[in-house]
Amino acid sequence: MTQPLDPTKIIEQYLSQIRQQKLLTRQRTIKILDAETHKERLGPFYKQGVTFAQRYVGIDMLLEAFLTDVEEKHWTDVTAQKRPPKRVFLGVSGAGKTYSLLRTCRKTYTLYNTASLIFQEEDRYTQRLIDEIRKLSKVGFETPADRNTAGLCAIIRWITVKWMCLLHLLDCYKDYTPDEFLYSQLNGQSAYYKTCYDACQLLTFGDQDYQQQCETWESVHRIVIKTISEKTRIYTGFGFAFDEAQVLHELFTDLYVRLYCTNS
């Protein structure tokens, strides 16, 4: 039996890799479209006196003044009562699901990810998870359970590394806000998180099997979240949001890995 790894050692070594990357520029506000560009983009939908954020993620993000028909459904995972409720935004294209999701993300520190492959700018951090799972799908596992565990381990590590990035940002920037963290994950800045993830992937920790790795990363995740809570004095939980999560389901229906995330 391989000896368990020290989670605190893993955290320190991963943070060391993250600290060596070029620090993400602090972005306190989102640029606002000037009136002429605003009018040109919205055409007949233009409304004088209404300002819109400068984003590059499709027309649905610009129709902020008309978001009145978004259906919101709240549900709880009855198979895991201790997990927090999920919030699902349902609606046709352009109804404002992404906007409503982002508005919700501003309430606390939230990992925002999108798997959209059409209108929105590519989320490079999400693409790294897709690449990782694709690699695993080609590995010959002895049992389906081993394959599930390997996939779950990859997901937990992927989530935790981004939380470590937030931990680093909190250390570097005084009063780093949930808004700033959300902004840092939009409009092309996901490349920073991908760079940090790639640097962390260079680290190896012995020859633990996937079950042991999964247990180790669950411990790492708990410690990182606890540390962030202590730094921010937020103890009621943080968010995890996934826009266009159905894309991952369509890509990996054969992997049997359940994604505990917000679907929109």
Say what the pLDDT of residue 195 is.
Answer: 94
> Is the distance from CB of 167 to CB of 224 less than 8 angstroms?
yes
pLDDT band, very low/low/confident/very high, at 187 (cuts 50, 70, 90): low
pLDDT band, very low/low/confident/very high, at 121 (cuts 50, 70, 90): low
pLDDT band, very low/low/confident/very high, at 223 (cuts 50, 70, 90): very high
Give the integer Cα–Cα distance in Å for 172 and 165: 11
Give the integer Cα–Cα distance in Å for 35 and 96: 22
pLDDT band, very low/low/confident/very high, at 31 (cuts 50, 70, 90): low
Characterize the bridge pairing of strands 86-90 and 110-114: unpaired
> Is the distance from CB of 61 to CB of 98 less than 8 angstroms?
yes
Question: Quick one: DSSP state of residue 29?
Answer: S
| Residue 129, burial from CB neighbour count under 10 angstroms (0-12, 13-18, 19+) | buried
pLDDT band, very low/low/confident/very high, at 50 (cuts 50, 70, 90): low
Has this prediction a pTM greater than 0.85? no
pLDDT band, very low/low/confident/very high, at 30 (cuts 50, 70, 90): low
Q: Report, in this order, helix, strand and coil percent for the chain, each rounded to 5.
A: 50, 10, 40
* Maximum mean pLDDT: which of 19-33, 137-151, 193-207, 224-238: 224-238
Give the integer Cα–Cα distance in Å for 208 and 244: 33
pLDDT band, very low/low/confident/very high, at 144 (cuts 50, 70, 90): confident
Say what the pLDDT of residue 132 is.
Answer: 87
pLDDT at 13 over 70: yes
Structure token pair of residue 141: 């596992």
Say what the pLDDT of residue 2 is.
Answer: 56
Say what the pLDDT of residue 229 is.
Answer: 94
For residue 170, give the amino acid letter: L
Give the integer Cα–Cα distance in Å for 84 and 240: 11
C-alpha 73 chain-centroid distance: 21
State the average pLDDT for the chain: 76
- Bridge partners (DSSP) listed for residue 111: 240
**Secondary structure of residue 223 in the 3-state scheme:** helix
Say what the pLDDT of residue 257 is.
Answer: 42
> What would the DSSP string read from start to end of 149-202?
HHHHHHHHHHHHHHHHHHHHHHHHSTT--HHHHHHTTSTTTHHHHHHHHHHHTT
What lies within 8 Å, CB to CB, of 119 at 6+ separation is 57, 58, 59, 60
Structure token pair of residue 187: 């409009």
> Is the distance from CB of 221 to CB of 8 less than 8 angstroms?
no
pLDDT at 92 over 80: no
Structure token pair of residue 195: 């760079």
